[in-house]
């Protein structure tokens, strides 16, 4: 039989309320509190219950997490369940924290449940399964059941459905799915339009997500002393593409020495970007990666230094996760040379 | 990618044609280019015109690195 | 304008002595057919192979798909391609249903080419797995683009159109089993009963982004890179005025077969007089500079407004930067007071966590999603390959690769494959066939 471990707080373990919220992590063999209900529905044996005070987890997060991960090091388990936390903010955050840590360390599915108002939802929904739960412990039975039903699907290796069908908060992962209704895009589109025209409620299949903003970096004070680096997503590379950067959905990037050249010559550099007609850039790569103009500004003294390499990858179809990773890797190199500012050209 | 550079505290200017894409992905300093396949030099114009345009717009981008902006800004170009 | 499509259901396709259609069986004299296709001297090696639904067959690199058709009145099926430029969209055309002519590279593929599995799990992606495919497998003398990632594929594409018409000849003088009628009165001459419904236009954005001619979709034989948005009758689209190009990643493509059967047009016809007044099609384009994209959105919104459209459906043949054309157009229509729905696919990356379209706008609040171009697809070997399997990995198909440190090459030694949906031929069925959607997981 498969095995599960359940995390709960000091209150649901029956240890005490607010006055016991500093309770240190503890692991007990067998079932405590909500673990009994979970064990009765789950098609796995709940072998251990972990208990931790909400304040302890909140104020000594690293210690709490490390202690619990230490408890789990020698245990066998196929799934990790925390809560349900209802609307209890600190408990919700604790469930999210520990689920995320356990998932990352042991790569087992981690499941919890909380109310939509719980701050833990926004903080952790991207990484783990958080089921939409009730406001208070009156919903204990239902919330445990929802988690257990989903856990059972995972344990049996069944295909799990989308967030809205299963009842967990969307994790920011969009994937394709064949509709059971068999309704075609044409039928759905016309139906949606007729509803929109008649001011009836309709549901878009692609809700426009909110944007994630980054604070604006402080400006360069004296350009004539600054070290500037050039980056492109336009796929300009030496003609033999030494880093084998893909022409779409790139996962690789390269950097190429420009310290001894005044411009990028045709026949020496080209674009491998497949998303547009490459003729113009192959004839003159500077129209995408303007090394010639930068060298002119360097000679004039407008900038103090041009970083010895330009950086290149392909933007089309590249996932944000890959782009972020590549960006971080580039930043590492840029920092080594104390680069003060970056110009990035995109196609 | 722009965001990772900016997140590291290094000012960055994105030169691109599709301003709506740059604003959607969260670039803060944007200098427009003329098209997707040839951002900085229209092959139907003379080499000299292409150079003038490229030199000008790269210059605008360099100056943009020194600008203290408070929100997403698209810098104006003359040619 | 009134178009009659006379349908002949094809139950089987076989080779035989005489090219003819009888009792649902399309028989092809292979030798004569080969001679006909080879009239184009650029085709230097050729085979014709038939692939049927359920067979353990993989077809790659597929460049084009066309429904065999003919006009009893001698006009060409694809004006400007297979004959003189003449108006389409009215009169009678005969169609061989349930089959398609595929243009397949005997060896070489290109960026926009795709793959079709006739059986197994891979068959769920594309409509063409459900059709009997008459494959033109050809090698050409187009040396200038032999090793280019972007190919015009002119000889093979034109062969599919010519051959589709050639096969159509078998039903030229036969009486159709069924006649479908597509008719709209002129906009200003419609009855009160029709006019009481909200007026709707379909805005189509066919692929036209290659500035060098020869890669883009064509309208009446005209390269759509040199085209500005204009008003067309939906019948023209259904009746061969447009043919597909050779640039867009396969899963986001509209093949000529898609144009001939465009489901979104058919659905709007279906609702015409029931819940809407279908005004017609604003045929737009896709562009490579923001200025061009804006200009097209202005043209489209103005036309929709002047035509009195209350609603619109916008659909794009593409993803990536074409999303900017798509979203700009939807936003421009909404700003003009036209209630708009969009139909397209998404690119959320192999991990599903990326921004679904490259530009977003809150005005685009009614979107239909048909799939994820970068969904990874892994499929076992097929018993038989039509074309050349290595093309998927070697030739820069948008969803294939020769090398990947984690996933390995797209084509493995045992013939199994791993690829992105990008390389599935018309895999997202954006013309409106798609029963796929995108969901949060």
Closest CB to A324 among B4, B11, B62: B4
Question: Quick check: is B6 in a domain?
Answer: no
CA C107 from chain centre, in angstroms, equals 22
| Model pLDDT, residue A213 | 80
Indicate if the pLDDT at residue A211 is higher than 90. Answer: no
| Model pLDDT, residue A315 | 86
- Are C372 and C347 contacting, i.e. CB atoms less than 8 angstroms apart? yes
Question: Quick check: is A204 in a domain?
Answer: no
Q: Are both A158 and A241 inside the same structural domain?
A: no
CA B75 from chain centre, in angstroms, equals 8
Q: Which residues of A touch C351 (CB under 8 A)?
A: 173, 319, 321
Weakest mean pLDDT among C270-274, C354-358, C407-411: C354-358
Percentage with pLDDT > 90 across chain C: 99
**Between the CA atoms of A57, A62, A65 and A67, what dihedral angle is there, to the nearest 10 degrees?**
-110
Q: Are both A146 and A227 inside the same structural domain?
A: no
Cross-strand pairs, C115: C424
Q: Nearest chain C residue to B33 by CA: give it.
A: C289
Closest CB to C343 among A163, A182, A185: A185
Q: Nearest chain A residue to C419 by CA: give it.
A: A249
Buried (b) or exposed (e) across A134-156, using 16+ Cβ within 10 A? Answer: beeeebbeebbbbbbebbbebbe
Give which of C392, C408, C319, C370 is closest to C117, Cα–Cα. Answer: C392
Question: Quick check: is A216 in a domain?
Answer: no
- State the smallest CA–CA distance between residue C307 and chain A in angstroms: 16
Closest CB to B36 among C288, C355, C361: C288
| Model pLDDT, residue A212 | 72
Q: Are both A125 and A242 inside the same structural domain?
A: no
- State the smallest CA–CA distance between residue A237 and chain B in angstroms: 15
Q: Nearest chain C residue to B39 by CA: give it.
A: C289
Question: Quick check: is B30 in a domain?
Answer: yes
Q: Are both A14 and A161 inside the same structural domain?
A: yes
Q: Are both A17 and A133 inside the same structural domain?
A: yes
Tell me which residue range forms the domain holding B35: 11-74
Q: For all residues of chain A together, what is the average pLDDT?
A: 95
Q: Residue A203: pLDDT band by 50, 70, 90 thresholds?
A: very high
Give which of C348, C368, C319, C344 is closest to C441, Cα–Cα. Answer: C348
Query: Tokens 């689920």 — which residue?
Result: A99
Q: How far is CA A77 from CA A4, A5, A51, C370, in A?
A: 5, 7, 17, 38
* Residue C328 per-residue DSSP state: H
Reduced 3-state DSSP string for A230-278: EEECECEEECCCCCCCCCCCCCCCEEEECCCCCCCCECCEEECCCCCCC
Residue A224 burial by CB count (10 A; 0-12/13-18/19+): exposed, middle or buried? exposed
Q: Which residues of C touch A317 (CB under 8 A)?
A: 320, 347, 349, 373-374, 398, 420, 422
Closest CB to C356 among A164, A177, A206: A206
Q: Nearest chain C residue to A178 by CA: give it.
A: C436
Q: How many Cβ atoms are within 10 Å of C80's Cβ, its own excluded?
A: 18
Contact B21 C324 (CB under 8 A): yes
Indicate if the pLDDT at residue A276 is higher than 90. Answer: no
Weakest mean pLDDT among A135-144, A233-242, A310-319, C278-287: A310-319
Most B CBs within 10 A among A224, A296, A301, A343, hence the mutation to make, goes to A343
Q: Residue A184: pLDDT band by 50, 70, 90 thresholds?
A: very high
Closest CB to B39 among A215, A339, A345: A345
Q: Is C225 on the interface with A (CB under 8 A)?
A: no
Residue C338 token pair: 């036209």
Phi, psi of A313 (to 5 degrees): -155, -170
Q: Residue A209: pLDDT band by 50, 70, 90 thresholds?
A: confident
Q: For all residues of chain C together, what is the average pLDDT?
A: 97
Residue B78 burial by CB count (10 A; 0-12/13-18/19+): exposed, middle or buried? exposed
Q: Return all residues near A336 (Cβ < 8 A) that are at least 6 apart.
A: none
Contact A162 C355 (CB under 8 A): no
Contact C339 A193 (CB under 8 A): yes
Q: Are both A159 and A28 inside the same structural domain?
A: yes
| β-strand pairing of C114-117 with C91-97 | unpaired
Question: Quick check: is B3 in a domain?
Answer: no
Contact A189 C368 (CB under 8 A): yes
Polymer length of chain C: 441
Question: Quick check: is B70 in a domain?
Answer: yes
Q: How far is CA C412 from CA A150, A153, C89, C418, in A?
A: 36, 32, 47, 8
Most B CBs within 10 A among C212, C215, C290, hence the mutation to make, goes to C290
Indicate if the pLDDT at residue A210 is higher than 80. Answer: no
Chains that touch B (3 or more CB pairs under 8 A): A, C
Indicate if the pLDDT at residue C179 is higher than 90. Answer: yes
Phi, psi of A119 (to 5 degrees): -60, -20
Cross-strand pairs, C43: C140
Contact C359 B36 (CB under 8 A): no
Q: Return all residues near C122 (Cβ < 8 A) that are at least 6 apart.
A: C58, C115, C129, C377, C379
What is the mean pLDDT of the segment spanning C177-190?
Answer: 97
d(CA C380, CA C58): 10
Q: Are both A147 and A22 inside the same structural domain?
A: yes
pLDDT digits (tens, 9 = 90+) for A89-138: 999 999 999 999 999 999 999 999 999 999 899 899 988 999 999 999 99
Weakest mean pLDDT among A212-221, A331-340, C370-379: A212-221
| Model pLDDT, residue A127 | 86
Q: Is B79 on the interface with A (CB under 8 A)?
A: no
Task: Catalogue the E-assigned strands of C118-187.
Answer: 132-140, 178-183
Question: Quick check: is B47 in a domain?
Answer: yes
Q: For all residues of chain B together, what is the average pLDDT?
A: 95
Contact A189 C348 (CB under 8 A): no
Domain containing residue A124: CATH number: 3.40.50.2300
Q: Would you call C199 helix, strand, or coil by DSSP? A: strand
Most A CBs within 10 A among C259, C368, C369, hence the mutation to make, goes to C368
Q: Is C264 on the interface with A (CB under 8 A)?
A: yes
- State the smallest CA–CA distance between residue C318 and chain A in angstroms: 11
Cross-strand pairs, C279: none
Q: Which residues of C touch A322 (CB under 8 A)?
A: 349
Polymer length of chain A: 347
| β-strand pairing of A26-29 with A3-9 | unpaired
Q: Which run of H or of E encompasses C212? A: none
d(CA B33, CA B38): 8
pLDDT digits (tens, 9 = 90+) for C32-85: 999 999 999 999 999 999 999 999 999 999 999 999 999 999 999 999 999 999
d(CA A102, CA A287): 49
pLDDT digits (tens, 9 = 90+) for A309-320: 999 999 877 778
Q: Residue A321: pLDDT band by 50, 70, 90 thresholds?
A: confident
Buried (b) or exposed (e) across C292-319, using 16+ Cβ within 10 A? Answer: bbbebbebbbebbeebebbbbbbbbbbb
Contact B18 C324 (CB under 8 A): yes
Contact C321 B37 (CB under 8 A): no
Q: Which of residues 49-68 of B touch A (CB under 8 A)?
A: 50-51, 54-55, 58-59, 61-63, 65-68
Question: Domain tally for chain A?
Answer: 2
Q: Is B43 on the interface with C (CB under 8 A)?
A: no
Tell me which residue range forms the domain holding A11: 3-166
Q: Is B34 on the interface with C (CB under 8 A)?
A: yes
Q: Is C209 on the interface with A (CB under 8 A)?
A: yes
Q: How far is CA A79 from CA A2, C120, C282, in A?
A: 8, 33, 54
Residue A344 token pair: 């990035």
Q: Which residues of B touch C327 (CB under 8 A)?
A: 20
Residue C50 token pair: 């038939």
d(CA C304, CA C281): 10
Q: Would you call C98 helix, strand, or coil by DSSP? A: coil
Indicate if the pLDDT at residue C90 is higher than 80. Answer: yes
Q: Are both A151 and A230 inside the same structural domain?
A: no
| Domain end point (choices A166, A199, A214) | A166
Q: Is A69 on the interface with B (CB under 8 A)?
A: no
Contact A275 C321 (CB under 8 A): yes
Phi, psi of C20 (to 5 degrees): -160, 165
Q: Nearest chain B residue to A297 by CA: give it.
A: B59
Signed CA dihedral, A165, A168, A170, A173: sign only: negative
| Model pLDDT, residue C317 | 98
Q: Which residues of B touch A307 (CB under 8 A)?
A: none
- Are C280 and C200 contacting, i.e. CB atoms less than 8 angstroms apart? no
Question: Domain tally for chain B?
Answer: 1
Q: How many Cβ atoms are within 10 Å of A292's Cβ, its own excluded?
A: 22
pLDDT digits (tens, 9 = 90+) for C370-419: 999 999 999 999 999 999 999 999 999 999 999 998 999 999 999 999 99
Q: Are both A257 and A136 inside the same structural domain?
A: no
Q: Residue A248: pLDDT band by 50, 70, 90 thresholds?
A: confident
How does DSSP assign C374-422, residue by residue?
Answer: T-EEEEPPPSEEEE-TTHHHHS--TT--S--TTT--SB-TTS-EEEEGG
pLDDT digits (tens, 9 = 90+) for A12-57: 999 999 899 999 999 999 999 999 999 999 999 999 999 999 999 9
Q: Which run of H or of E encompasses C301? A: helix C290-306
Radius of gyration of chain B (CA): 13
- Are C244 and C254 contacting, i.e. CB atoms less than 8 angstroms apart? yes
- Are C62 and C49 contacting, i.e. CB atoms less than 8 angstroms apart? no
């Amino acid at each position: 039989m498969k095995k599960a471990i359940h995390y709960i707080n000091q209150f649901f373990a029956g240890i005490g309320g607010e006055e016991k919220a500093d309770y240190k992590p503890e692991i007990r063999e067998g079932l405590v509190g909500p673990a009994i209900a979970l064990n009765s529905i789950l098609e796995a044996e709940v072998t251990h219950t972990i208990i931790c005070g909400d304040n302890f987890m909140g104020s000594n997060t690293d210690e709490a997490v490390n202690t619990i991960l230490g408890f789990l090091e020698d245990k066998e388990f196929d799934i990790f369940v925390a809560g349900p936390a209802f609307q209890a903010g600190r408990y919700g955050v604790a469930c999210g924290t520990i689920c995320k840590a356990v998932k990352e360390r042991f790569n087992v599915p981690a499941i919890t449940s909380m109310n939509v108002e719980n701050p833990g939802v926004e903080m952790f929904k991207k990484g783990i399964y958080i089921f939409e739960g009730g406001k208070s412990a009156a919903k204990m039975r239902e919330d445990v059941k929802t988690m257990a039903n989903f856990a059972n699907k995972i344990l049996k290796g069944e295909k799990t459905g989308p967030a809205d069908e299963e009842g967990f908060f969307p994790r920011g992962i969009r994937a394709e799915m064949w509709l059971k209704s068999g309704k075609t895009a044409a039928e759905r589109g016309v139906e949606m339009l007729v509803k929109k025209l008649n001011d009836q409620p309709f549901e878009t299949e692609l809700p426009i997500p909110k944007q994630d903003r980054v604070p604006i970096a402080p400006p360069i004070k004296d350009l004539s002393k600054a070290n500037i680096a050039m980056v492109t997503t336009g796929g300009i590379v030496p003609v033999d593409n030494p880093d084998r950067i893909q022409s779409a959905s790139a996962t690789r990037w390269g950097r190429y020495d420009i310290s001894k050249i005044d411009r990028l010559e045709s026949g020496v550099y080209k674009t491998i970007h497949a998303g547009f007609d490459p003729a113009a850039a192959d004839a003159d790569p500077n129209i995408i990666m303007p090394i010639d103009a930068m060298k002119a500004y360097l000679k004039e003294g407008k900038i103090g230094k041009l970083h010895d390499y330009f950086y290149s990858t392909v933007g089309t179809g590249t996932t944000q996760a890959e782009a972020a990773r590549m960006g971080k890797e580039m930043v590492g190199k840029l920092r080594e040379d104390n680069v003060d500012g970056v110009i990035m050209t995109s196609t | 990618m722009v965001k990772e550079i900016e997140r590291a505290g290094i000012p960055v200017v994105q030169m691109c044609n599709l301003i709506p894409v740059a604003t959607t992905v969260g670039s803060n300093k944007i200098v427009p280019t003329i098209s997707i396949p040839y951002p900085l030099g229209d092959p139907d114009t003379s080499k000299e015109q292409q150079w003038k345009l490229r030199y000008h717009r790269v210059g605008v981008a360099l100056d943009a690195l020194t600008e203290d902006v408070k929100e997403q800004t698209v810098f104006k170009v003359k040619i | 304008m009134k178009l009659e499509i006379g349908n002949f259901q094809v139950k089987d396709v076989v080779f035989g002595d005489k090219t003819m259609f009888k009792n649902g069986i399309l028989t092809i004299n292979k030798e004569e057919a080969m001679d006909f296709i080879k009239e184009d001297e650029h085709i230097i090696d050729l085979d014709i192979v038939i692939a049927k639904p359920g067979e353990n067959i993989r077809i790659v690199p597929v460049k084009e798909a066309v429904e065999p058709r003919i006009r009893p009145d001698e006009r060409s099926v694809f004006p400007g391609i297979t004959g003189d430029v003449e108006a389409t969209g009215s009169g009678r055309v005969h169609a061989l249903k349930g089959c398609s002519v595929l243009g397949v590279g005997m060896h070489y593929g290109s960026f926009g080419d795709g793959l079709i599995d006739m059986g197994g799990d891979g068959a769920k992606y594309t409509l063409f797995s459900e059709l009997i495919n008459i494959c033109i497998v050809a090698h050409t003398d187009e040396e200038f683009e032999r090793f280019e990632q972007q190919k015009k594929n002119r000889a093979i594409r034109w062969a599919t159109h010519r051959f589709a018409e050639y096969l159509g000849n078998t039903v030229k003088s036969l009486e159709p089993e069924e006649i479908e009628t597509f008719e709209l009165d002129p906009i200003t001459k419609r009855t009160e009963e029709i006019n009481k419904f909200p007026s709707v236009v379909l805005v189509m954005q066919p692929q036209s982004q290659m500035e060098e001619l020869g890669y883009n979709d064509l309208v009446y034989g005209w390269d759509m890179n040199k085209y500005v948005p204009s008003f067309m009758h939906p019948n023209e689209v259904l009746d061969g005025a447009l043919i597909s190009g050779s640039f867009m990643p396969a899963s986001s493509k509209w093949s000529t077969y898609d144009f001939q059967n465009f489901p979104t047009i058919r659905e709007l016809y279906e609702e015409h007089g029931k819940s809407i007044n279908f005004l017609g099609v604003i045929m737009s384009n896709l562009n490579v500079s923001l200025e061009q994209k804006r200009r097209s959105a202005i043209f489209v919104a103005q036309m929709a407004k002047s035509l009195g459209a209350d609603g619109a459906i916008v659909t794009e043949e593409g993803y990536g930067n074409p999303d900017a054309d798509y979203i700009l157009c939807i936003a421009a229509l909404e700003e003009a007071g036209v209630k708009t729905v969009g139909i397209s696919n998404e690119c959320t990356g192999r991990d599903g966590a990326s921004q679904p379209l490259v530009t977003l706008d809150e005005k685009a609040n009614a979107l239909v999603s048909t799939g994820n171009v970068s969904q990874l697809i892994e499929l076992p070997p097929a018993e038989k390959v039509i074309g050349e399997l290595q093309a998927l990995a070697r030739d820069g198909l948008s969803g294939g690769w020769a090398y990947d440190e984690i996933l390995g090459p797209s084509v493995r030694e045992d013939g199994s494959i791993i690829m992105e949906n990008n390389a599935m031929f018309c895999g997202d069925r954006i013309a409106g066939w798609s029963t796929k959607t995108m969901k949060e997981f």
